[in-house]
Structure 1
Amino acid sequence: MGYSPDFIERMTEIVKDIRDQEKDFMIRVVAAFDDACMACPHRGESACEAAEGSNDHVLSMDEKVIRHLGLEPGKVYKKSKLVALTGEKVEPDNLDHLCAGCSWLRYGVCKEGIRALKG
């Protein structure tokens, strides 16, 4: 479901680090380009260029998740805290709203991930 081999490789690294329970690190919460975006072939100089309106769409998803989790944009949190908050505050069906319009939503892997996180 990646956009390019470089993007798939970067996303795989990010997911591996997030799933690694032995590894904790700081994450800056942003509604903007993030680490995954840096390897995306649709990344422009200052905005997502995948399609008309894609930058606004991505930013709106970021903002919805930040609000849903009660986070402060620009603030740095431990990965373990963000994972715990996600498990506490996000239900699989919340993704229908939080991620509305995301091309990955229809595959169900994100909902499966939330279910697994909730144990």
Structure 2
Amino acid sequence: MSGICSNKQRKKGERGMKPLRLRGHHLLCVHGFRGMGYSPSFVEKMWEIVKRIRDEEDDFPIEVVAALDEACLACPHHGEATCEASPNSDDHVRLLDGNVIRHLGLEAGNVYQKSELIRRIAEMVEPDDLDYLCRHCSWLPHGVCKEGIANVRRGNTAQL
């Protein structure tokens, strides 16, 4: 289905609701998010995004990117166009983005409905896949990410 537009997947520039811009690895992070973060403003922004993703009644377009997204803009480590947490951090997060985008059969820059992305995650990502997809992520050892993906696979997107 990658690259083929349907009613569940749209190219940039189509009319309608402005899509939420979300980087590839954040498609998985939102399911394990429990309020930990880089700064209070980042945590606040992530909760805003997470609540929309977890709201099973709210289906909306998401532009999948391998670059800074709406969550990143609230992070104290963002630069003009890159993550500047450490000298290699931008390369690392772009690698994570690419891992997730490829694994889910998505294309960076395309717009997908949230429901389609949730479906793909539920069907295509096992909790143990995070050991590869999110390798060297500082949040992975906390275990909340695998727990979140397990919940999505059980149909519990709301993480209740």
Report the TM range for the smaller structure's normalisation. over 0.9
1:111 aligns with 2:135: no
Aligned to 1:20: 55
Q: Does 1:10 align with 2:48?
A: no
Question: Counterpart in 1 of 2:126?
Answer: 91
Please list, as runs of the form range in 1=range in 2, the aligned pairs for 1:34-113 lying within 5 A after superposition. 34-113=69-148
Show CA shifts across 1:59-117 (max 9, x none).
00000000000001110000010011000000000000000111110101110011111
Query: How far apart are the structure 1 equivalents of 2:95 and 2:145?
Result: 18
**Whole-angstrom distance in 1 between the partners of 2:137 and 2:59:** 28
2:54 aligned partner, one-letter code: R
Distance 2:65 2:82 in 1: 14
Name the CA distance, whole Å, in 2 between partners of 1:33 and 1:96: 23
Matched AA of 2:70: D
Task: Note the alpha carbon deviations across 1:21-53, whole angstroms, 9 max, x for none.
Answer: 000100001000011101000001121110110
**Runs in 1 of length 4+ with deviation above 4 angstroms?**
none
C-alpha separation in 1, matches of 2:81 and 2:150: 34
Report the Cα distance in structure 2 between the residues aligned to 1:24 and 1:35, rounded to whole angstroms: 18
Secondary structure in structure 2 of the residue aligned to 1:29: strand
Percent identity of equivalent pairs:
62
Greater share of helix: 1
Please report the TM-score for the alignment, with normalisation by the length of structure 1. 0.98
Residue identity in the other structure for 1:64: N
